[in-house]
Chains A and B, each alone.
Chain A
Amino acid sequence: MKNTKETLLQVKNLEVTYHTRLGAVSAVADVSFDVYRGEILGLVGESGCGKSTMGKALMRLISPPGEISGGQIILNGDDILNYNEDQMRDIRGRRVSMIFQDPMTSLNPVQRIDQHGIEAIEVHEPKTKLDQALERVTKLFERLGIQKRRLTDYPHQLSGGMRQRVMIGLGLALNADLIIADEASTSLDVIVEAKLADQLREIRDEFGVTLIVITHNIALVAELADRIAVMYAGRMVELGEVHEVFDNPLHPYTQGLLASVPNIELNEREELYKMSGEPPNLTHPPTGCRFHPRCPKAMDICSRYQPSFQEVSPGRFVHCWLYQDHPEKDSPTIKVAA
């Protein structure tokens, strides 16, 4: 992944709107980014920032009253927003698959584990023989640490960590290129979560699969991801290589967010940064930059115009007026060293 960056997925100016009784909520607003083949992209933000909506939008799983109201999602050169339902069914599972927070709601409680895998293969590859499908499933699950004898168990007989591994296995069963893990480790205990993180990294290395890890756990992204994308109030505010962003966060929101993450190490960050306020209600988002009411560095221009999501150094994008020029801006633009 390091040198030859092949773009797997391109998101361009994506907009997702929910039409609610209280008016239109723009849950994802003008978001653009690329995903490279074989990388782990961590997508972080607080509740309501649009990160899960974004994950669902990438598989076109937004259902009414929500809709994808604009933009493009280009997977391997094709805009999937133009696909019909049959084509989408082929994409879901076979090309892109998703792991959710609670595996119990994703797994069928009256279906055995091996049947879940076989069903997925049968639906997408109807020519596969049953014994071949079973063999593939068995091999794959064994690789993920689920013994053969457990394959005839029902979901409730497995532990939380095992269920989540079954979900990963189902994602891999059809050799999907891209797996979107939406808070996949959130309900797990720390040790199990750490093991799941190890496993995600291993399957990336072994199967070359691309992962988008959606989480509110910023420390987990530091542990796991190659690149990090930060969302706030429906907008992507910063994107970059994970070491660069943690070492030198550019957007004031990223700066505050990273400084408020607890660190277990003694003599490291003994005081947490206390960001003022709370995320806004998206039926009436703040004008201009949506972060300006909470921003310690807000300028006049921030409440009036929305900054663009600009590349400030190679591979580093930020959505902030501090780093952009504008005729009406009254303070100097900060230059970012490459």
Chain B
Amino acid sequence: MNDQTKSNNNSDILVKVENIKKWYPVQTTFLDQIFTQQRDFVRAVDGVSFTIKRGEAFGLAGESGSGKSTIGRLTLGLEQLTEGRAIFDGIDYSTLSVEENRKLRRRMQVIFQDPMASLNPRMSIGAAITQPLHIHYPEKASEHRDMVLSIMDKVGLTPPLFFYNKFPHQVSGGQRQRIVIARALVTQPELVLADEPIAMADVSVRAQLLDLMVQLKKEFNLTYLFITHDLATAKYICDRIGVLYLGRMAEVGPLREVYANPLHPYTQALMAAVPKPNPHKRRTHPMPEGEIPNPINPPSGCRFHPRCPIAKEECSRVEPELRELRPEHAVACHFADQFVK
């Protein structure tokens, strides 16, 4: 077997997705299937491209239904693409066998939102963190315990021996999220998909966890794909950010550049909507009308046009492509030039 799953590529780019689409068929009755020609699809992801550089934290932000979690799973090859290509370290998932895919997967890990849902309540903390080692590195069984204790120490589950035999329900919410982080990092992955990793945590604990994730990224030279609905939190961890709207990328660029000069009217609305912890700076702008539309029949042309304050006739006909209006800062809007500072 030629081992394609080892790093065979020294380029800066760890992840590359090209025009990925994921359409889920809408469940219909048997009779409908016979008598109607056309099947409906939920276009969860509808033509998204981006790259993530090695050692970078790339954020994907959007409201519910924007397709951000689906893109996360597609990027890790956890779901079949409807169209497009997803490439990890120069390797296209679709060219690999199941076994090769499994081997490749030891180089990536996931952290989900709800630690209680991602931990087996009947498995001790030590056993839970050891599990990925059993799966990916069974040949190193004798070293497992030391590896687990060392990572527990690094994520702040200290002293590790105190926690090793405890169960998830015996520790606090913040500690549970640390367990999930430890379990993700114990195999020393290169890419970590963090899907709303701290959304459940309380404010005072959230800052600790964010800081931990930043520290660990430095220490292990990790690459993050950080999925969030909270633009304020993204500021503290992401280097670059992509803003999604209804399965399409509205805007992408370096985080500080995008926040300083948001070019898409949707990004502008989203940023204005985030409440600021300062009563002297209350928002005065009105919010766009309506809510995120149904992804089964997305609006024609630019998907944001029915809610957009600057929409013109063209917007309902022609779907805008991402255009780079400033270095590395691209936006999918026909009329964004006016916002360039």
Contacts and interface: CB of A to CB of B under 8 A. Distances in A.
Nearest to B269: A191
Interface string B3-19: 00000000000000000
Interface string A203-226: 000000000000011111011100
B144 interface: no
Interface stretch (B43-51, B77-85, B128-136, B271-279): B271-279
Contacts of A275: 204, 207-208
Contact of A190 (B208, B229, B259, B280): B229
Given A219-B232, A264-B274, A275-B208, A189 B292 contact: yes
Interface stretch (B93-101, B109-117, B282-290, B317-325): B282-290
Nearest to B235: A264
A312 interface: no
Contacts of B271: 264
A193 B275 CA distance: 9
A279 to B, nearest CB: 7
A190 B270 contact: yes
Helix, strand, loop or mixed for chain B's interface? helix
The size bracket of the interface on A is 35 or more
Contacts of A279: 202, 204
B259 A274 contact: no
A109 B211 CA distance: 43
B210 interface: yes
B259 to A, nearest CB: 5
A198 B288 CA distance: 12
A219 to B, nearest CB: 4
Interface in A249-295: 256-258, 260-266, 268, 272-275, 278-279
B204 A46 contact: yes
A159 B292 CA distance: 9
B208 A191 contact: no
B204 A246 contact: no
B139 to A, nearest CB: 38
Contact of B210 (A161, A192, A268, A272): A272
Interface in A288-322: none
B277 A246 contact: yes
Contacts of A263: 232, 235, 276-278
B203 A266 contact: no
**Which of B269, B274, B282 has its CB near the most chain A CB atoms (within 10 A)?**
B274
A106 interface: no
B277 A189 contact: no
A180 interface: no
A316 to B, nearest CB: 15
Contacts of A224: 275
A253 to B, nearest CB: 9
B184 to A, nearest CB: 21
B278 A246 contact: yes
Contacts of A46: 202-205
Nearest to A261: B277
B275 A191 contact: no
A272 B229 contact: no
A120 interface: no
**Which of B173, B210, B275 has its CB near the most chain A CB atoms (within 10 A)?**
B275
B259 A266 contact: yes
B283 to A, nearest CB: 7
B277 A192 contact: no
Contacts of B260: 266
B270 A191 contact: yes
B208 A223 contact: no
B230 interface: yes
Interface of A: 46-47, 159-161, 189-195, 197-198, 216-220, 222-224, 242-243, 246, 256-258, 260-266, 268, 272-275, 278-279
Q: Closest 10 CB pairs between A and B?
A: A46-B202, A219-B275, A189-B63, A262-B232, A194-B273, A272-B207, A223-B275, A275-B204, A264-B232, A260-B207
15 contacts: A46-B203, A46-B205, A189-B291, A194-B275, A197-B275, A216-B202, A216-B203, A218-B203, A246-B277, A262-B232, A263-B278, A266-B259, A272-B211, A275-B207, A279-B202
Interface of B: 63-64, 172-175, 202-208, 210-211, 229-233, 235-236, 256, 259-260, 269-283, 286-288, 291-292
